[in-house]
Copies of this chain bind each other. A is one copy, B any other.
Amino acid sequence: MAERGAAQSSASSGESLLFLTDEQLRRGIEAMFFAYRGFTADPDRILENYAYGRAHHRAIHFINRSPGTTVNNLLAILGVTKQSLNRVLRTLVEDGLVESRVGTRDKRERHLYLTDQGIALERELSEAQRTRMRAAYRAAGPDAVAGFRTVLEQMMDPELRHHYFSNTEGGA
């Protein structure tokens, strides 16, 4: 499936065996833009009620996914500066949604956990997001979903892909 031709610009070659025309690619690009907006719309609406933003959502999501993760881990996943993350984390700790425990093995590290309140907000946010995703998956069908995931994973930076999608494929 790799030898899909050279995908040259626009209509230079009439080969319609190609599906990688600039027009097709442009549609994919716009689809990403609009879909991402839809994807974040529901959580954004909820977050307004709590005076939080997307940055808080991301922190909550990944702490929920990996309870006990360290600040440095989170930094690597989120790809922001520690100052930026710290600002978000501080408010979440102050508000009692996240607990920061000093490490036992290495006391410099802080291990992050959601409190019951944090878990509640995570549920609310992810449930909204899953609902939309579920609807899209249902409407598109299983084959489309597989393709969706495949392309998305190929679109990420390779390092990240290996890190997060190499050993998680066992399930299902």
Contacts and interface: CB of A to CB of B under 8 A. Distances in A.
Interface string A6-43: 01001100001001111111111111111111110100
A52 interface: no
A164 B123 CA distance: 32
Interface in A116-172: 123, 126-127, 129-130, 132-157, 160-161, 164-165, 168, 171-172
Interface string A74-101: 0000010000000000000000000000
A76 B16 CA distance: 33
Chain A interface helix/strand/loop/mixed: helix
Contacts of A26: 65, 126, 130
Interface residues of A, number: 71
B171 A29 contact: no
Contacts of A23: 171-172
B134 A154 contact: no
Interface of A: 1-2, 4, 7, 10-11, 16, 19-39, 41, 58, 61, 65, 79, 123, 126-127, 129-130, 132-157, 160-161, 164-165, 168, 171-172
